Chain A
Amino acid sequence: MQRLTWIRKKTVAIAVIILQIAVLYGLADLGGLISKLLHTPVPGSIFGLIILFLLLQFRVLRLDWIARGGDLLIREMLLFFVPSSVGIMTYGHLMLHEGLQILVTIVCSTAIVMLITGTMADNIWKARQLRRPRRTAHEDAKEVASW
């Protein structure tokens, strides 16, 4: 009996997640439509993101109506990268001949980007920190909403 209720609960939970993902999918499609109608290079998913943010901000949608599905998608985002990356196999000869140069390019460029981004953000943070009343790391941590 207990096992049956457990199964029922699990089924409901999965159905809820699928429904929530369907809503997000719908928003992405809506964004795609807008992108097509406006003839912009801005991808539809970005319009979808903006629409969802506004719907949440103006309380048309409640966070708990989409949070479970949305958090799942974000948590497993790496999985969705895999199939298109497997496409690297169709560029086998390119990777064989120029793979090392590509790797050097990307590694150096990433290091440059991180150095610039990090020093900029950290220095501005320090400068503004001096002007603001003193805060502790503990207070900063409290800012983070629970995930």
Chain B
Amino acid sequence: MWLGLVSTLICYGICKKLYQRFHYVVLNPVLTCLAVLIAFLSLAHVSYHTYFASGKWLTDMLSPATVALAIPLYRNVHILKAHWLEFLVSLVSGAAAAIVSSILLARLMRLGGMIETSVAPRSVTTPIAMDISQTIGGIPTLTAVFVIITGISGVVIGPLVIRYVRIRSAIAKGAIFGMGCHGIGTARAFEMGQMEGTCSSLSMVIAAFITLALAPSLVPLLT
């Protein structure tokens, strides 16, 4: 009954400590926690259904966590006012690029229609991505998985992009992480600095809004 909740909490706690100690990308707490939990569940022959019975209490916390994103938005609304043009243009083009490139690349890889739709909202934060997936006819669980893969690959790709394209401003660095890989990227952006992290959390919220507005009209055009 409590298995899902307790095993997740313990596992996450240990994995987080491990990451804070060593700071390797491959030790990203979500990635390691996922690997250990899946190994544990399959070795112990526990079905996902049983695990999720109490595991879903944690998932339920995603909606108040999304509501809480109003707090960084409120605290930093002055940054938004000063740099609204940077955020608006880069995030609208980023969100459009995310939807279009995901669908087209999925088709190029011959992944099939269901995956094409489920992969489209992958670059926004999980609760909203799952809702968008539902709306446009994808599979929300599959989308949740794609969101996580996006987050972890973004943490690796982001610093490379910043270095090779010579991104200077903290705003652009934040936008890269917030748009490219949502919450997982925002955690990484805060490692770079306060301004980067703050811009990333702003970008993450705005990217969610823009994707929400774009996806229902853009996806049917492409699939």
Contact = CB atoms under 8 A, between A and B. Distances in A.
Interface of A: 21, 24-25, 27-28, 31-32, 41-46, 48-50, 52-53, 56-57, 63, 66-67, 69-71, 73-74, 77-91, 98, 101-122, 124-126, 128, 137, 140-141, 143-145, 147
18 contacts: A24-B68, A28-B67, A45-B127, A49-B69, A66-B68, A81-B148, A82-B12, A85-B34, A109-B122, A114-B161, A117-B94, A117-B172, A121-B175, A121-B176, A124-B86, A141-B193, A143-B82, A147-B198
- Is the contact region of chain A dominated by helix, strand, or loop, or is it mixed? helix
A120 B151 CA distance: 21
A128 B85 contact: yes
Interface in B62-85: 62-79, 82-83, 85
B216 to A, nearest CB: 6
Interface of B: 4, 8-9, 12, 29-30, 33-34, 37-38, 41-42, 48, 51-52, 55-56, 58-59, 61-79, 82-83, 85-87, 89-91, 93-94, 97-98, 101-102, 105-106, 108-111, 115, 119, 122-123, 125-128, 130-132, 135, 141-142, 144-151, 153-154, 157-158, 161-162, 165, 167-173, 175-176, 179-181, 183-184, 187, 193-195, 198, 201, 205, 208-209, 212, 216
Given A45-B67, A87-B52, A118 B135 contact: no
B97 A85 contact: no
B93 A83 contact: no
A115 B62 contact: no
Contact of A106 (B37, B63, B73, B119): B119
A111 B101 CA distance: 10
B71 A74 contact: yes
Contacts of B56: 83
Contacts of A69: 68
A139 to B, nearest CB: 11
Given A66-B71, A82-B12, A107-B153, A122 B58 contact: no
B165 A84 contact: no
Contacts of B91: 117
Given A41-B216, A78-B29, A108-B101, A83 B59 contact: yes
A121 B148 CA distance: 25
Nearest to A145: B75
Contacts of A52: 67-68, 70-71
